[in-house]
């Protein structure tokens, strides 16, 4: 491993930028002295490199040649699909003027007398007065008669709670 880093450092000036990748690969590789990788000892599992997700059928130990450019390109496309699926299906909500919304509250640290998981996550309802930019809106709180500006990522459509007896 030291020879690989030394060779790379001689050929490239910005070797410090890729040093974390070398150390990740080194810690994630099999060590004969301990019979496993250091990462598996510490985390009790092997960490996946994002490219490993796409090249899951490629075996580095038994292959005669490295993957072709086309195989790596297909692996990157597959990797991006997996990452997007893990992020969840985010729905792009379109807001309009006079729509009633709720605003996400900032997370506070729990104190001894309160627990943060029981605190409300959204405040509202508030009404959208106007768009101040492509991703920011001005809201009017009818309870407090106050105006506020927030990013649309902090909004969610208001759904009144139905109380059943």
Nearest Cα to Cα of residue 103 among 133, 119, 127: 127
The pLDDT, as a whole number, for residue 138 is 95
Which CA distances in Å does 26 have to 20, 30, 39, 43?
A: 10, 8, 9, 15
More confident site: 158 or 4:
158
Q: Which CATH architecture has domain 100-157?
A: Roll (2.30)
The pLDDT, as a whole number, for residue 113 is 62
More confident site: 114 or 133:
133
Q: Which residues of 12-45 are buried (b: 16+ CB within 10 A; e: fewer)?
A: eeeeeeeeeeeeeebebeeeeeeeebebbeeeee
Give the pLDDT band (50/70/90) at residue 86.
Answer: low
Per-residue pLDDT tens for 133-145?
888 899 999 888 8
Return the domain boundaries, the chain.
Answer: 1-46, 48-90, 100-157
Secondary structure of residue 101 in the 3-state scheme: strand
The pLDDT, as a whole number, for residue 68 is 75
């Amino acid at each position: 491993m030291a020879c690989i880093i030394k060779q790379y450092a001689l050929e490239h000036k910005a070797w410090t930028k890729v040093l974390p990748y070398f150390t990740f690969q080194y810690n994630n590789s099999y060590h004969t002295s301990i019979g496993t990788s250091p990462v598996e000892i510490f985390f009790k599992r092997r960490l996946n490199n994002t490219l490993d997700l796409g090249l899951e059928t490629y075996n580095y130990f038994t292959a005669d040649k490295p993957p072709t450019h086309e195989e790596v390109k297909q692996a990157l496309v597959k990797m991006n699909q997996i990452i997007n699926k893990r992020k969840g299906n985010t729905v792009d909500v379109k807001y309009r003027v006079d729509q009633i919304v709720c605003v996400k509250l900032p997370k506070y640290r729990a104190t001894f007398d309160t627990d943060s998981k029981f605190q409300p996550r959204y405040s509202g309802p508030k009404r959208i007065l106007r768009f101040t930019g492509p991703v920011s809106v001005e809201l009017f709180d009818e309870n407090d008669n106050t105006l506020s500006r927030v990013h649309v990522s902090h909004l969610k459509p208001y759904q009144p709670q139905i109380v059943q007896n």
